[in-house]
Amino acid sequence: MELFIILAIVFIHELGHYLMATIFKWRIRSIMLWVFGGVMDTDEHGNRPIHEEMLVTIAGPLQHLFIYGIIFFISAGEFVPSSLIELMFHYNTLILLFNLVPIWPLDGGKFLFLLLSSFIPYRQAYHSVIIISLLACISILLLQLFVFPFTLSSFLIILFLLKENRLEWKERYYVFIRFLLKRYQGDSTVKGVRSIVVPHQSSLMDVFAQFHREKRHSIYIQFSENERKSIEENDCLQQFFYERQYNKTIGELVQY
């Protein structure tokens, strides 16, 4: 009965993500359900509008309010034991609070990433949320080992999240390349223009590291105090993906 309640709550939670994603016509690969949560795998990470990703992210936690309504409705009758009502309320609250913890790939971690990427460059935001997640996992493990009562289930869950974030850190370069490739292909949302000033000895990756979501960049290359040249974002992306100028500096590309 406990397992059924947990999986039902997780299913309704993921159903919220799925329904909101289908409204925005996201490409959904799969949905995986675990005892402690689920994951909706999509092809839209990082290239959809921030407000869309935020709505899809919070759609899951909002389903728990719907579940609270179901619990209240059931508790009004006398056909369900009070112990079962308490169990449903307990697991619904536990799963909701767990998913709001700012650890990637939980909803709290995704929301933190979206919040950071609204103000700072994409790569910096992505790296920051993974580092925060790793530190949070390590802190929770230490607290459980030396402060709080030890439970095997929560210990294994945190180990799993630690493993997931370690894998995300190892694949951070490929995630960033996917972000750049979507921009090069014209699949990303643009809501404004932002200027970037870089030294002429900067590499293309140094320039790309300053790219913001939902911004098109005009890049100004500083050669000296009085000499400055400009290049558009698409030209830099073309030099990287099409011309494969990986080792040239931005100054050499402009002069070339």
Same domain for 115 and 238? no
Same domain for 227 and 172? no
| pTM flag (> 0.85) | yes
Same domain for 161 and 246? no
In total, the chain counts a number of residues equal to 256
Specify the pLDDT at position 45: 65
Same domain for 116 and 40? yes
Q: Cα separation of 133 and 111, whole Å?
A: 12
Same domain for 133 and 222? no
Domain count, the chain: 2
SS3 state of residue 117: helix
Specify the pLDDT at position 35: 62
Low-confidence ranges of the chain (pLDDT < 70): 35-37, 45, 256
Q: Which amino acid is at 15?
A: L
The two tokens of residue 197 are 């000033």
Specify the pLDDT at position 28: 86
Specify the pLDDT at position 94: 92
Same domain for 119 and 220? no
The two tokens of residue 104 are 């990637």
Which residue range is the domain that position 43 belongs to?
2-181
Domain's final residue, options 147, 181, 215: 181
The two tokens of residue 200 are 């002429």
Specify the pLDDT at position 76: 81
Same domain for 74 and 47? yes
Q: Cα separation of 96 and 87, whole Å?
A: 14
Terminal Cα-to-Cα distance of the chain (whole angstroms): 69
Residues identified as active-site: 14
What tens digit of pLDDT does each residue of 145-185 get?
888 887 888 888 889 899 999 999 999 999 999 999 988 88
Domain's final residue, options 129, 148, 181: 181
Domain's final residue, options 181, 216, 247: 181
